[in-house]
A and B are shown apart, each in its own frame.
Chain A
């Protein structure tokens, strides 16, 4: 499924933030979500491209996809 067709239950905007803030905000956001819900994270920190997949894998959630947006940021779709 391509990123445009994934309907997120929540969007977390971490654009402009650098390590470790995107991960810290993601961890907080995930705590308030239910199993099966989808979170879309928007980010510009290059480090997040490795940090977020590693964290999601460790947590046992599913990383549905990473998409580079034409406007210069990245979208991460995470299924809780």
Chain B
């Protein structure tokens, strides 16, 4: 025993003598890389990081949203196909579009670093569900004044009452969507969704798997360079959004953070994890934005435009159905697309095409005033009542989800 200890001590001394500064640095970089990109990040950590990043985006420019960027991309589709003459704002200068592009970049970096990037193909039925789900989400966002991210998460985080109405709508829509998926599982024949890759006749010219982390490193450099590039042309704010987007994309991909699970899992498996995570995240987000708004760092009504209550509720129902059928929401679509999911790409394209159309239709149909208007919660309840009520509400919601996990009272399958 003593001999073993002595041998270990001698080898320790030898290894410490041969350990140069660069060797030590190399080892630490390797350990950090493995910690960050080989393991999944816990969802509670992602929830906290998401709230912090959302608050930083709020302080930097505006309350975080996603669907505005999709709208801009849709406008470009119509402009480039000659359907409209009005040239939209460049996607490289549109704040939400740039944020989305940053998110795709961040998720791509994460997928490449972890060697998880891969083109995922699926069956025709799944592509059809992606397209239909994307269309429904596009309709829902148009009514609710935002997607699940802007119309629910951010809306609640910045005290817009429409967020709560959308939450109810998302619950109803998720129930309908899940009922359809259960029907499909029971009644539709198993559809071959996978095609065996053909065996290659000769060794590949280039080993992409080995190169993936280096390509990821190049994208990190590209995003950082883009920030300085924006700054050089006096649009630092836009460059900052690209950088924040990259961080959000990385956090979401590493933790596979998905808002859909908040509404789907309690009814499908009873799992309460994402309900607890998003409740925690929303309490942090709301407390942070209370500091920002109550202290007049940003205007009270900033971002409070969600049509309470009909618009948000109806939008939530459409969006909820769409996200369950497509298997993604507007924000998780960006990171899933970046890891090579082609069904989600189809969903994003149909979202982009439908959303601007329905926004215009709502505008010109004259029903806008019927949908409701932005309502700032502290204006009605005062700050002193709103803050403890928020904390209590989300504590109750998470405890209800935990109870459901144990009893499966709301599980429908």
Q: For chains A and B in complex, what number of residue pairs have CB atoms within 8 angstroms?
A: 73
Is the CB of A50 closer than 8 A to any CB of chain B? yes
Q: Are A16 and B327 CB-contacts (below 8 A) given A24-B185, A71-B196?
A: no
Q: Among B194, B271, B343, point to the contact of A15 (Cβ < 8 A).
A: B194
Residues of A with C-beta under 8 A to B197: 71-72
Assess whether A46 is in contact with B116, with CB atoms less than 8 Å apart. yes
Assess whether B126 is in contact with A28, with CB atoms less than 8 Å apart. no
Assess whether B413 is in contact with A27, with CB atoms less than 8 Å apart. yes
Interface bits A31-51 vs B (CB < 8 Å: 1, else 0):
000000000000011110010
Most chain A CB within a 10 A radius of its CB, from B40, B122, B182: B122
Assess whether B196 is in contact with A17, with CB atoms less than 8 Å apart. no
Residues of A with C-beta under 8 A to B194: 13, 15-16, 44, 73
Residues of A with C-beta under 8 A to B328: 19
Q: Among B121, B123, B258, B269, point to the contact of A27 (Cβ < 8 A).
A: B269
Q: How many residues of B contact A (CB 8 A)?
A: 37
Assess whether A16 is in contact with B122, with CB atoms less than 8 Å apart. yes
Q: Given the complex of chains A and B, what is the CA–CA distance between A13 and B118 in angstroms?
A: 19
Is the CB of A54 closer than 8 A to any CB of chain B? yes
Q: Given the complex of chains A and B, what is the CA–CA distance between A24 and B324 in angstroms?
A: 12
Chain A residue nearest to B114 (CB atoms) is A46
Residues of A with C-beta under 8 A to B343: 18
Give the Cβ gap from B260 to chain A, nearest Cβ, in Å.
Answer: 8
Assess whether A16 is in contact with B339, with CB atoms less than 8 Å apart. no
Q: Are A16 and B269 CB-contacts (below 8 A) given A24-B182, A44-B194?
A: no
Assess whether B122 is in contact with A54, with CB atoms less than 8 Å apart. no
Chain B residue nearest to A19 (CB atoms) is B327
Q: Given the complex of chains A and B, what is the CA–CA distance between A66 and B194 in angstroms?
A: 19
Give the Cβ gap from B213 to chain A, nearest Cβ, in Å.
Answer: 17
CB-contacts of B108-148 with A (<8 A): 116, 118, 120-123, 126
Q: Given the complex of chains A and B, what is the CA–CA distance between A24 and B264 in angstroms?
A: 11
Assess whether A21 is in contact with B121, with CB atoms less than 8 Å apart. no
Chain B residue nearest to A12 (CB atoms) is B190
Residues of A with C-beta under 8 A to B264: 20
Is the CB of A10 closer than 8 A to any CB of chain B? no
Q: Given the complex of chains A and B, what is the CA–CA distance between A73 and B336 in angstroms?
A: 17
Is the CB of A3 closer than 8 A to any CB of chain B? no
Residues of A with C-beta under 8 A to B413: 24, 27-28
Assess whether B181 is in contact with A47, with CB atoms less than 8 Å apart. no
Q: Given the complex of chains A and B, what is the CA–CA distance between A66 and B309 in angstroms?
A: 47
Residues of A with C-beta under 8 A to B126: 16-18, 21
Q: Given the complex of chains A and B, what is the CA–CA distance between A13 and B194 in angstroms?
A: 9
Assess whether A20 is in contact with B268, with CB atoms less than 8 Å apart. yes
Chain B contacts to A: CB under 8 angstroms: 40, 116, 118, 120-123, 126, 181-182, 185-186, 190, 192-197, 256, 258, 264, 268-271, 273, 324, 327-328, 336, 339, 341, 343-344, 405, 413
Q: Please list 20 pairs of residues, one from A and one from B, whose beta carbons are closer than 8 Å in the complex, sorted by A's number.
A: A13-B194, A15-B193, A15-B194, A16-B121, A16-B123, A16-B126, A16-B193, A17-B193, A18-B343, A20-B181, A20-B324, A24-B182, A28-B185, A46-B116, A50-B40, A54-B273, A55-B269, A55-B271, A58-B269, A58-B405
What are the 7 closest A-B residue pairs judged by CB atoms, nearest first? A16-B193, A15-B194, A16-B194, A16-B122, A17-B193, A19-B327, A18-B327
